[in-house]
Each structure stands twice: as C-alpha cells, then as structure tokens.
Amino acid sequence: MGFVLRRLAASVPVIIGITVVAFVLIHMVPGDPAQAILFGSNATPQQIDDLRDQLGLSQPLWQQYLTFLGQLLHGDLGTSYVTHNSVASELLSRTPSTLQLTGAAMLIAIVIGVPLGLVAGIRPGSALDLVSRTISFIGVAIPYFFLALLLVLAFSLNLNWAPAIDDGSAAALVLPAVSLGWGYAAILTRLVRGRVIEEYRSDYVKSANARGCSERRVLLGHVFRNSSIPAVTMIGLQFGNILTGAAVTEVIFGRAGVGSFLATSITTKNIPVVQGAIVLIGIAYILINLIVDLAVGAIDPRTRLASAST
C-alpha cells in the first residue's frame, strides 16, 4: 500500500506537467475559437469579441491556465465550445469505444508476440525462428496507419469480409485492432526472443540442465518467468502508446472514440475538449504504469523491495 501511495504522490507533478503541455499545445494551434464557432453566421467583429469574452479567451494566458487548473481540481473539465455539453460526459461516452480498440489491439499483440518470441528464442536459427523474425521485421517496417489502409483495401473493398467503417458490430473491430496491434506484436516478439535466448545462456539454466531438470521445467520455472518481467514492462508501455495511437486508427475507420474526438477538436480548436482529452490520456498512462509496476512486483518481489528502499 505504501508503494502505491508513493507512486501516486510522485505522479502529482507529472499530472501538473501534463496540464501545462495540454494548455500550451492547443494555444499554439493557429486560429480563433470564437471565429470558428461563428463561422458562416456573418458575425460582426463585436459579436466575435463578445463571444471571446464569454468564453474567457480575452483573459491573459496565465489566468486562463489557472482557471483551467482550478476547474480540474474540482473534477470539471469544462464545457465543449461546439456541443455545449460537459467535456467529461463527452469523453466518458467515447471512452468505451477507445478501450475496446486498445484492449483488442493489445490482445492481438500479446497473443502473436509472446508465443512467437518464445518459439524463436527456444530454437534460434530454426525455420520457426526465421518465420518469426520475418513477421517481426514486416510488423516494425510497416506503419500502422498504412497497414490499416491495406487491410481496408484487401478485406473490406475486395473480399468484403469486414466493414471498412465502424458500424458497432464485433466484425468492425477486427481490422482496426489488427492494424494497431500488429506492429506492437512485432516489437514484443523481438523482445521476448532476445530475452529467452539470453536466459538460456545464463549459468542458472546450465546448472538446472546439469541437474537433470526437464526442458519443460526449465522453460516454465525459470526462463519464462524471468523473461516475462521485461515483457510485462514493455506491454504496459506499449499499452500507453496504443492508447495514444488509437486516434489515427479511429479516424481511418470512423470509430467514435476519444482519439477521433480529440483530432476533430484540434481542427476546430475546441480548447476544453483538447485539454480534457490530453489530461485523461495522461492520467490513464500513469495508471497503466502503476499497474505494470505492481504486476512486475508480483512476478519478482525483488523489484518491489528495491523500489521500497529508494
């Protein structure tokens, strides 16, 4: 419990830094939100100025930031300039779609990456190792957004196996999840393969083999356990990357998630939504890393003891 409290306390400066980044980035985007809102309504300059005053955009930037930070401390992410709804409710309504995509992509990465890495690491130089390295190379070389377009062309337009645009069905989740998770499966394959090969060369494995331990016991009892620690850490980090990378994938496949909502809000300079979405993603990233640290500590208690001593 003490470890969790220390990590949460250490996350406070990080969250404050995230709020600063969220605030600065959106204000660096060219354009006037008031003009964007009144675009096409033949608004006069006075009406635009009145709207800017109403939205608080006429205040100095430091005052706008303090207002944003004060609202955030009270759990208020503000109100959308476009829909006039609570930003928190807008983001929460889109969160399940993003979590579905992120979870499915990570599941694909684990299901493909871990077994391929184990097989390749157990028998380096074999035909299976060659296949796994080839798959890994292709996964790293092809950007996920380009792979998404290829999947749409092949399986939606030509074969008609899955919808190209999200329609709420389970089949509509397959292509975006594969396109987003394939590259991370390749990274995980390379990590697990390298770690397994390293573990098999270690002295304790040689000693276990000399004592007559079965290969199954050596693999599951020693090699797999020690190899899983960096893999779990990498999975946590990649989960955060997938969460942020879901924005492009959601736009391509027309998914109504947090990422696509954020992308649309940036183009319209919907400041409260952009700030709220970045803060939400940042907090999710912090929580994911905390969960990873707890998982690593459960696998190897020595890491938990080392963290407690620092």
Environment class of 82 (CB within 10 Å of its CB; exposed 0-12, middle 13-18, buried 19+): middle
Average pLDDT over residues 273-296: 82
pTM of the model: 0.78
Is the predicted pLDDT of residue 66 greater than 70, yes or no? yes
CA angle 120, 125, 130 (to 5 degrees): 65
Distance of alpha carbon 199 from alpha carbon 215, whole angstroms: 13
For the four alpha carbons of 231, 232, 238 and 239, in that order, the dihedral sign comes to: positive
Average pLDDT over residues 28-41: 76
Average pLDDT over residues 111-135: 83
Query: DSSP of 162-197, one letter per residue?
Result: S-SS--SSSHHHHHHHHHHHHHHHHHHHHHHHHHHH
Report which DSSP code applies to 79: B
Q: How confident is the model at residue 309 (pLDDT cuts 50, 70, 90)?
A: very low
In contact, 179 and 151? CB cutoff 8 Å: yes
Average pLDDT over residues 65-73: 88
Distance of alpha carbon 274 from alpha carbon 264, whole angstroms: 9
Phi, psi of 223 (to 5 degrees): -65, -50
- pLDDT, tens only, 187-230: 888 888 888 787 777 766 666 666 666 666 666 666 666 767 77
Average pLDDT over residues 15-36: 83
Q: Tokens 């635009």 correspond to what residue?
A: 48
Say whether 151 sits in a helix, a strand or coil. Answer: helix
CATH topology of domain 95-267: MetI-like fold (1.10.3720)
The answer to which of 88-102, 136-150, 221-235, 237-251 has the lowest mean pLDDT is 221-235
Average pLDDT over residues 2-11: 74
Query: DSSP of 226-250, one letter per residue?
Result: HHHHHHHHHHHHHHHHHHHHHHHHH
Phi, psi of 40 (to 5 degrees): 85, 0
Q: How confident is the model at residue 15 (pLDDT cuts 50, 70, 90)?
A: confident
The answer to which of 6-15, 157-166, 235-244, 251-260 has the lowest mean pLDDT is 235-244
Average pLDDT over residues 145-155: 88
Q: Delimit the domains of the chain by residue range.
A: 2-73, 95-267
Average pLDDT for the chain: 80
Q: What is the pLDDT of residue 59?
A: 86
